[in-house]
């Protein structure tokens, strides 16, 4: 069946799909609650506006690209890049047998016909392969191909989302955004021990489901690990049949998505109220004991479980939070966890976060060893670590022949500038890049690849298309600014960085600093000052922004304002010698030799080899 404007309307779950031009179907924001017999807006809390990527009229709610792959059987998107249109086809509405079991013999289901000889179902009783057939539609992931078939290796066709982005997962691994379940299983001790979807589904209704493994003496799992035996009443300290006695209520709490769709977390994590206080991570205890207050819940948890809660889960959450904020020493925490971690998905998470830290170079040896790890998630993360490294070609070239496509693609992406046009690696990377050209993220990725290969005008063309399709994305604007700066179009780069700062409150200060630097280099000093002030307004402790603002004001001969800004730079960045040195130069020009001497001596204590400081001291003495 082909979808086009003449096809009758149909629904996705309880949301109507609205036909649009170019063979599109758009998932409307209004949905029907069949139990309550009422309509409701699935994005009521977010208030998505026309023009936004995620509005129901935008590409983020396009059924052909975002929904149909999991909700239809045998779906083929068939996107025409030139026409920006779809000629999508599918075998049947909804999820049919072949979606999970693969093509069936012609005689299947006919009791009067013997089954033809041949192999059994594509899984050959391999429960992990069965799970990897569930995973494409029960995971937050990115398509690497559109050719997945039941029995295939998941990592040959999908990139699994890991708890790297704070907006996607909480730092302990709990689901934050709409993440589905597969990542959580991969991050869990139970998943690592061999627990599969098929051990638990039927629905989560009673403790008996969990006790099939956790009743004394504890079931021996496929990996050889014995499950911890648990008495629910003694363990939970709650009466039988109460909510607090429920394994699922405590270890698989629900989050409601789209207003009315509660879903269980599948990480089987410990409720840890201390992490709620420290990092804002939800805990199941407080759902029932909100009236008693968080400190009461923390005290109770400590009284009952004590040292058991001071576990690797807590260490992970703290280290990941530090890395996401690029705090001093963040890499040390990640590397300490890597040293002891045995779950591949967590190892891949730490490696993915390492490049975001200021001291990432300290992880080079560990990342190099991970290039040879048994698990493809870890090898792929290690390949990404070396993207841009001077010796990346020598390190990553062997991974271009890795047996798993995910690893090959991440190595190819890191080496995109060096790949010969006709090489298998370039052809595979090109096919991957072409897969999402109907989305702004795909256009951006193609633009980045073209920039890596020196085609700057081609890169800008793709990035401009991405901005048109998603005008409120700060990330796209930031890439656009970097390309414009590389081309020497500094005023435009400054404007792009500034717009990105306006769109991204959490990283506004850093983006505004970049805008100010671009404007200053272009000689647009008014715009540069505005950008630097925007940066310190969003982060009053941003020493580098105060420093650059001070230098700019000194350049404009506004010395009292410059001195004030440079003093703030020194106060907020007391370990950087350049800040008191710059202050000393401005004080000296202002005739304040005493103040200049004191500032220069402070700079010298920080960096005794600073040539500029030594020159000022010679002048003053």
Per-residue pLDDT of 423-453, as tens digits, reads 999 999 999 999 999 999 999 999 999 999 9
Residue 13 pLDDT grade (very low, low, confident, very high; cuts 50, 70, 90): low
Task: Return mean pLDDT, the chain.
Answer: 90
Quote the pLDDT of residue 63.
95
Q: pTM of the predicted model, to two decimals?
A: 0.83
Burial class (CB in 10 A: 0-12, 13-18, 19+), 282: buried
Flag whether pLDDT at 8 surpasses 70: no
Helix residue spans in 146-231 (DSSP H): 182-187, 189-193, 208-214
Buried-exposed string 5-14: b where 16+ CB fall within 10 A, e elsewhere: eeeeeeebeb
Quote the pLDDT of residue 264.
80
Quote the pLDDT of residue 119.
43
Beta bridge partners of 226: 220
Quote the pLDDT of residue 3.
40
Q: What is the Cα–Cα distance from 96 to 1, expressed in whole angstroms?
A: 15
On whether the CB atoms of residues 193 and 350 are closer than 8 A, the answer is no
354-413, pLDDT tens digit by residue?
999 999 999 999 999 999 999 999 999 999 999 999 999 999 999 999 999 999 999 999
Domains of the chain: 10-101 (no CATH), 163-306 (no CATH), 453-539 (1.25.40.10), 540-621 (1.25.40.10)
CA distances 386 to 155, 379, 413, Å, are 20, 11, 11
Q: Assign 39 to helix, strand or coil.
A: strand
Quote the pLDDT of residue 253.
83
Residue 96 pLDDT grade (very low, low, confident, very high; cuts 50, 70, 90): confident
Flag whether pLDDT at 116 surpasses 70: no
Quote the pLDDT of residue 109.
54
* Contact residues for 431 (Cβ-Cβ < 8 A; gap 6+): 145
């Amino acid at each position: 069946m082909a979808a086009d404007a003449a096809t009758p309307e149909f629904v996705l779950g309880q949301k109507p799909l609205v036909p649009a031009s170019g063979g599109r179907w758009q998932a409307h924001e209004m949905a029907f609650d069949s139990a309550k017999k009422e309509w409701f807006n699935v994005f009521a809390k977010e208030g998505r506006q026309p023009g936004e990527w995620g509005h129901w009229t935008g590409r983020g709610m396009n059924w052909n690209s975002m929904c149909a792959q999991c909700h239809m059987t045998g779906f083929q998107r068939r996107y025409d890049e030139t026409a920006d249109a779809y000629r999508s086809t599918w075998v049947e509405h909804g999820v049919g047998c072949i979606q999970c079991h693969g093509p069936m013999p012609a005689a299947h289901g006919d009791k009067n016909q013997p089954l033809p000889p041949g192999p059994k179902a594509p899984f050959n009783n391999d429960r992990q392969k069965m799970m990897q057939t569930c995973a494409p539609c029960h995971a937050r992931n990115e398509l690497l191909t559109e050719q997945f078939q039941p029995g295939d290796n998941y990592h040959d066709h999908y990139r699994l989302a890991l708890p790297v982005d704070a907006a996607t997962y909480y730092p302990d691994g709990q689901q934050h955004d709409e993440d589905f379940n597969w990542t959580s299983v991969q991050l869990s001790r139970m998943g690592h021990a061999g627990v599969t979807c098929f051990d638990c589904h039927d629905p989560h209704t009673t403790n008996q489901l969990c006790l099939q493994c956790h009743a004394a003496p504890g079931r021996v799992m496929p990996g050889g690990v014995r499950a911890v035996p648990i008495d629910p009443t003694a363990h939970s300290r709650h009466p039988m049949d109460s909510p607090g006695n429920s394994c699922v209520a405590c270890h698989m709490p629900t989050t409601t998505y789209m207003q009315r769709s509660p879903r269980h977390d599948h990480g089987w994590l410990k409720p840890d109220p201390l992490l709620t206080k420290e990092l804002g991570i939800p805990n199941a205890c407080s759902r029932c004991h909100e009236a008693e207050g968080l400190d009461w819940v923390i005290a109770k948890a400590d009284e009952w479980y004590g040292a058991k809660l001071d576990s690797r889960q807590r260490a992970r959450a703290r280290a990941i939070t530090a890395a996401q904020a690029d705090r001093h020493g963040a890499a040390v925490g990640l590397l300490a966890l890597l040293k002891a971690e045995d779950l591949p998905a967590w190892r891949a998470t730490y490696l993915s976060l390492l490049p975001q830290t200021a001291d990432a170079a300290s992880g080079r040896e560990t990342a190099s060893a991970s290039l040879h790890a048994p698990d493809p998630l870890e090898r792929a993360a290690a390949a990404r670590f070396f993207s841009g490294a001077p010796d990346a070609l020598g390190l990553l070239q062997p991974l271009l022949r890795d047996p798993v496509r995910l690893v090959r693609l991440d190595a190819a992406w890191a080496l995109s500038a060096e790949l010969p046009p006709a090489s298998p690696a370039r052809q595979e990377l090109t096919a991957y890049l072409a897969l999402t050209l109907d989305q702004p993220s795909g256009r951006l990725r193609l633009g980045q690849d073209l920039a890596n290969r020196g085609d700057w005008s081609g890169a800008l063309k793709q990035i401009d298309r991405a901005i048109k399709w998603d005008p409120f994305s700060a990330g796209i604007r930031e890439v656009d600014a970097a390309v414009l700066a590389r081309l020497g179009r500094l005023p435009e780069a400054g404007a792009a960085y500034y717009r990105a700062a306006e769109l991204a409150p959490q990283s506004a200060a850093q983006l505004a600093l970049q805008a100010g630097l671009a404007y200053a280099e272009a000689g647009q000093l008014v715009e540069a000052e505005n950008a630097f002030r925007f940066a310190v307004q969003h982060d009053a402790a941003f020493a580098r922004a105060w420093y650059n603002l001070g230098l700019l004001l000194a350049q404009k001969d506004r010395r009292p304002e410059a001195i004030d800004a440079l003093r703030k730079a020194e106060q907020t960045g007391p370990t950087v010698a350049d800040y008191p040195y710059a202050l000393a130069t401005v004080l000296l020009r202002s005739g304040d030799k005493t103040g200049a001497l004191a500032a220069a001596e402070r700079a010298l204590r920080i960096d005794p080899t600073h040539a500029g400081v030594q020159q000022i001291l010679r002048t003053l003495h």
